Structures are given as C-alpha cells and as structure tokens.
Amino acid sequence: MIVPMKKILLLAVSAERENALKALRDVGVMQIDVQNAKPTARALEAAEAFRDACRVESELARFAEEKEIGAPANFTPDRSDAEYLAGCRALFERRSALQTECEKINLRMQQLAPWGDFRLAAINELAERGIFVKLCRGTYKDLEKLDKCDDLAVAIVNQDRRNVDFILVSEREIDDRELPVVKLADTDDPVLLRMRLETAEKEISSIEEKLVSYVAAQKEIAAARDALLADAEFSAAFDAAQDCDAVIALAGFVPAESVDALRAAAKTHGWGLVIDDPAPEDNVPVLLRENKFSKTIKPLFDFLGIMPGYREMDISGGVLIFFTIFYAMIIGDAGYGALFVLASAAATWKFRGKKQAKMPLKLAWILSIATVVWGALSGNWFGVSLGGLKCLTDPAVKDASVQCFCFALAVIQLSLGHIWKAIFDRNWKSIGANLGWMLIIWGNFFLAIRIIVWPGDYPAVMNYCYLAGLVLVLICGLNWKNPADIFQFPFSMIGSFSDLLSYIRLFAVGMAGTYIAGNFNGMGLSVMNSSAWFIPGGLLVILFGHVLNLALCLMSVLVHAVRLNTLEFSNHTGLTWSGNAFHPFANHKPSNDKEVEK
C-alpha cells in the first residue's frame, strides 16, 4: 500500500538554523522539498564530492571482481575512513592517467612500426652532418615524382594497394611541405617509447598491488561515502530553508504515521508546524508499505526505475503473479529452468547473509521454479519433447490451447485492473465505467477466440457483453462535456481489443524459442551423424544454439513480459508510474551486509 503523506511547513529561529537542521535530521521522518532551492557553491561541491566517492567505490568493487580478490575475514583499519577514500581515489586517478598514457604510446608505436627501431637522435645527428633522413607516407604518385630526382635515395619499407611507407635520404635539405613527411615529435623514438611504456606498465602493476590492500577497506570507504552523502544532503537542506527575517521556513512531506514524532521534536526544540493534506498539484513522494509477498517484485521495479504515483494504487502483488507466469511462458523450457534453479542455488550460497541480495534471490527462485513447472507441463526439455500435459503437447491441439490460455490471462489481468481501479476510486460512477470496460474486454475475449483460436460462429453472449458494456461506459465513463473524450472513445474501444490481442505474444515468443532450440538440436545431430569425427563439432552447434536461444529468451522477457505489465495492464488500472520514492532527511546508518532483515 501507499502510505498517506502530510504536507509540512516547519518554522524555526534563523539563528538556530544549523542546530534545527541537525535535530530534524536526528528525527529522520521528513523529506525536505529542495526542488526550488538555489544551490550554493558549498552544496555543489558537497554533491560533487559524493559523486566522486561513489565512482571510487564502484571502481574498487569492479577492480576486486576483475582480479577475483575477496575481502579478508579479519581487517583492522589503521587510518580514518576519509584517508582510505582519498588514498584509493589518488591511486585510481594515477592508474587512469598511466593507462591513458600507455594507450597513446601504443598508438604512436603502431604508427611508427613500419620504419622499425630507428633512433631519433641518430637522424638528428646525420642532419647536422649534412645527411637528411625523412620518414614518409604517401601514394604511389608521390613515389613516382621522387624517382625523377637523382639526388634522392628512396627505400620502401611497407606498402599496400593505396599507400606506401618509405625512407628518403638526401644530401641537401628538403622542404617538408613538398613531401608527405611524417612529422616527428621530440618523443617519437621507438626505443624511448618502449622504455616509457615499460616504466608506465610497471607503475600500473605497483598501483594495483597497493589497490589490493584497499579492497579490504571497502566498508571504511563506504562509510566515508555515507559521510559525504550526509554532508551533501545537509548542504541541500541548508539552502532549501527560506529566510523570513528572524525565522526560517522548511517545506516538505512526512508520512501520516510519523507526524506525532515530528510534533514531539517540534515541542522540544520550539519549532512551529503547519500540517496539511497535500494539494492536487503537489509532487508528493511515495512510500510503499509492502508485505513479504509483494515486496518480492521490488528488484524488478528498481531495475526499471518505476514507481506508482502518490495518488495511484500499488499493484505489486498482481505484477508479481502475472510477471512470473509470463516469464515462465516466454522461456518455456524446463531444462533452462533447471539451469536457472542451479544458478539461483549458487548465487544464494555466494551471497548468503547479504541483505541486499535477499529479494533478488527470492525473485530468481520464484521465476526459475515457475519456468521448470511450465516447461514440464508443456513437455519441453532443452528443445526435446518429453512428457507434459496432452493439451500442451498434442500437435493437434497444443497451439490452440496455449493461445486460449494467453487470451484467458489477458481477460483475467485486465479485468483485475478494472476491479482494482473501481475499488480504489470508491464511487458509483467509476464502478459503472470499469464494469462496462470489463464487459467490453470479455466481449473482446470471445471475439478473439472465434477469430484466432477456434474459428466459428460468434456466441450471442459476446453481443450482450458489448451492448451492456457500451451503455455503461457511455453513461458512467465518458465526459460528454469534453469533445476530446468523445473523439477518442472509438479509438479506446479499438485499443481495448488490441490490448487483449497483445497477449498472444506470449504464445509466439515461447513457440519461437522452442523451434530455435529444436532446430539447433537437429543441426547438431546431423553434423554428428555424418561422421564420428564431427561429434565435437555437433555438440558445439547444439551448445551455441542453446546459449543464443537462452539470451534471446531473456531479452524477450525484458521486452514482452515487462510491457504487458507496465503498459497494457497499467493502462487498464490507470497507472502512470510517475512516482518518486520518499527519501527522508535522516542520519545514514553504516552499511552492514551481515544485517538480517526482520
């Protein structure tokens, strides 16, 4: 559920501005409205320092993963958290500079490679003695022009269809503008470049050895990051306080259930409070109070970066149920599901005790088991038919059965959306309009069944559904005073049918995955049957096919399963996913991966 919010205006003595903010942060229940505040230089610097700390922490985690370095069990810090962060930042900055330098050196050495290990000092010394050596890169026409000059010696070192690299030697000074001369900088000496490269690579290795010791201090660096975040938030709150002579005013939002705690703090510190309900135009933050069941889908919402608006409903539980079914149907293979179960088990073991991994792992287990169940029911095991229900495996009826199931899922989910919306709105007009749209959706269901699944005569009940639904929507759901609503209504009718048809994608994508797996199995077996020597090649063909198919299936989940929930289903529940998460101005607790969620 979405927790009700109260709009707060807090008044405090201007002279106590900093102390008031610290006390308010200790209470930790109010999100301060900082949108209209003009940030000062201090706030901008604090925000930049926090972003920089996040970058350092992310780079250190990536470094530890690339080098497969684990944090030691026992670690005793010997310096402050800020010193660990500063030292780690300096090492990464120096390593980045050296890596950029190495890239430039390698590029320059590659450009100079056709002329070999020449010494720039020797070229300069010859020039002082009256022998001029030029390194050139030009076309064959340039080369033909030089052949006519008797006082020039040319040696070709490399050539292709268009260009030629050559060395030009002359006893007279030559104007570089007349020739395709490669301009050499004072540092363009292959031997010296190689020495600089070796020195830089040795320093990079030395830096990485030092970075290994910082991997053990990841918690200290995280603590320093949290301190910078607290400073950035405090600076933003400081700038958000509006000066009104001797008084400052802070606007924000507080959960209704936490207003008493704010009142108690106001009484203690002598603040003034104005408490009101949010206005319709207010951008109210959203605090979700989820149960253990609906919370499971939160990792998906976090990944997509979506959240219902404050004045919308929380449909997390419904999305979890239907997303699980869609996921299983799109993957559609019990063998793949079994691999997911093994991967979930391995991840559970690796990330055991880490609070952040609890919900993603729980969701992974649910999706993996659902995939095994659907794959077993449909008899698909790595593209091989084995067992399953007759209605899902018999070639004569399986396609129609799955199509009918897709449309049944559509009518159930979309109807559930309208039921939720009617309950949420709690007025007779909304109940009538949503009941009318439900009847239209059921009429669409019977129409789709007769057109696509089992062609035949249209049932009379379909006409009654359309007629009753149309009357209810026209009476209760259409704003006759708004010409735009009247104009859009026919398109809404057509859209309701296309929304239901959109669920057939579950059948199409699942069938495509099954055929891809079966065809690669067939190709691999054909290769193996041609000769015993080709058995390894045939196995590689099968393995490649399943890896490719699995990747395509996972991409299809992101495209289709997510779309059906966040577009079709959300449209019928009136969700816009326009919410912003509630972030109270509060003290940051130290990170602790071993913390157990209650």
Question: What phi, psi does 575 have (nearest 5°)?
Answer: -90, 140
- For residue 134, the number of C-alpha atoms closer than 13 Å in the C-beta half-sphere is 24
Report how far residue 191's alpha carbon sits from residue 197's, in angstroms, rounded to the nearest whole number. 10
67: DSSP letter: T
Report how far residue 361's alpha carbon sits from residue 358's, in angstroms, rounded to the nearest whole number. 5
β-strand partners of 286: 581
79: DSSP letter: S
Number of Cβ atoms within 10 Å of the Cβ of 47? 18
String of DSSP letters for 228-272: HHHHHHHHHHHHHSEEETTEEEEEEEEEGGGHHHHHHHHHHHT-E
Q: State the burial class of residue 224 (Cβ atoms within 10 Å of its Cβ: 0-12, 13-18, 19+).
A: buried
**Would you state the pLDDT for residue 508?**
93
What is the pTM (predicted TM-score) of this model? 0.77
Q: Which of 282, 230, 231 is nearest to 252 (CA)?
A: 282
β-strand partners of 6: 254
Q: Each residue of 9-45: pLDDT tens digit?
A: 999 998 888 899 999 999 999 999 888 778 888 889 9
**Would you state the pLDDT for residue 159?**
86
Residue 566 contacts residue 577 (beta carbons within 8 Å)? yes
**Which residue numbers in the chain have pLDDT < 50?**
592-598
Q: Give the three-class secondary structure for 159.
A: strand
Report how far residue 121's alpha carbon sits from residue 133's, in angstroms, rounded to the nearest whole number. 12
Q: Give the three-class secondary structure for 535.
A: helix
Q: Is the dihedral of CA 73, 79, 81, 82 positive or negative?
A: negative
**Would you state the pLDDT for residue 71?**
66
Token output for 275: 């408490």
Q: Give the three-class secondary structure for 556.
A: helix
Q: Each residue of 134-173: pLDDT tens digit?
A: 888 888 888 777 776 777 888 888 888 888 898 888 888 7
C-alpha distances in angstroms, 135 versus 107, 154, 158, 188, 191? 17, 10, 12, 12, 16
**Would you state the pLDDT for residue 73?**
64
**Would you state the pLDDT for residue 347?**
92
